[in-house]
Amino acid sequence: QTSSTRGTRLHVIHIAAEMAPVAKVGGLGDVVTGLSKALQKKGHLVEIVLPKYDIMRYDLIQDLKALDAPIESYFDGRLFKNRIWVGTVEGLPVYFIEPHHPSKFFWRGQLYGEDDDFKRFSFFSRAALELLLQAGKKPDIIHCHDWQTAFVAPLYWDLYVPKGLDSARICFTCHNFEYQGAAPASDLASCGLDVYRLNKPDRMQDNSANDRVNSVKGAIVFSNIVTTVSPSYAQEVRTAEGGRGLQATLNSHSKKFVGILNGIDTDAWNPATDPLVKVQYNSNDIEGKAENKEALRSHLGMSSANVWQPLVACITRLVPQKGVHLIRHALYRTLELGGQFVLLGSSPVSQIQREFEDISSKFKNHEHARLILKYDESLAHLIYAASDMFIIPSIFEPCGLTQMIAMRYGSIPIARKTGGLNDSVFDVDDDNIPIQYRNGFTFLKADEQGLNSALERAMYHYKNDPEGWKQLVQKDMNIDFSWGSSASVYEDLYQKSVCRARATNRP
Task: Give Rg (Cα) of the chain.
Answer: 24
Based on the shown chain and the rule CB under 6 A, indicate whether residue 33 belongs to the binding site for ligand ADP: no
The yes or no reply on residue 317 touching ligand ADP (CB under 6 A) is yes
- For residues 471 and 250, the answer to whether their CB atoms sit within 8 Å is no
Residue 27 as a binder of ligand ADP (CB under 6 A): the answer is: yes
Handedness of CA 421, 423, 424, 427 (dihedral sign): positive
315 binds ligand ADP (CB under 6 A): yes
- Binding to ligand ADP (CB under 6 A) within 366-425 occurs at 375-377, 380, 399-402, 405
Number of residues that bind ligand ADP (CB under 6 A): 17
CB of 240 to ligand ADP, least distance (A): 23
Cα 494 to Cα 224: distance, rounded to the nearest angstrom: 9
- Which of residues 346 and 495 has its CB atom nearest to ligand ADP in the complex? 346
Nearer to ligand ADP, 321 or 495 (CB): 321
277 counts as binding ligand ADP under rule CB under 6 A = no
Which CB, 218 or 398, lies closer to ligand ADP? 398
Cβ closest to ligand ADP, residue 128 vs residue 229: 229
CB of 494 to ligand ADP, least distance (A): 24
In terms of Cα–Cα distance, which of 33, 35, 84 is closest to 57? 33
Least CB distance to ligand ADP at residue 262 (A): 8
Closer of 376 and 447 to ligand ADP (Cβ):
376
- Which are the contacts of 447, defined by CB distance < 8 A and separation ≥ 6? 326
Work out the number of other CB atoms within 10 angstroms of the CB of residue 58.
12
Give the three-state DSSP class for 507: coil
HEC letters along 307-325 = CCCCEEEEEEECCHHHCHH
Cβ 312 to ligand ADP, closest distance in Å?
A: 16
The 10 Å Cβ neighbour count of residue 333 is 20
To ligand ADP, the closest distance from the beta carbon of 116 in angstroms equals 24
Residue 245 backbone zone (phi > 0: left; psi -120 to 50: alpha; other: beta): left
Neighbour count for residue 299 (Cβ, 10 Å): 14
> Of residues 342-371, which lie at the interface with ligand ADP (CB under 6 A)?
344-346
Residue from 148, 180, 228, 316 touching ligand ADP (CB under 6 A): that is 316
**Least distance CB 290 / ligand ADP (angstroms):** 22
Specify whether the CB–CB gap between 64 and 57 falls below 8 A.
no
- Residues engaged in binding ligand ADP (CB under 6 A): 26-27, 315-317, 344-346, 375-377, 380, 399-402, 405
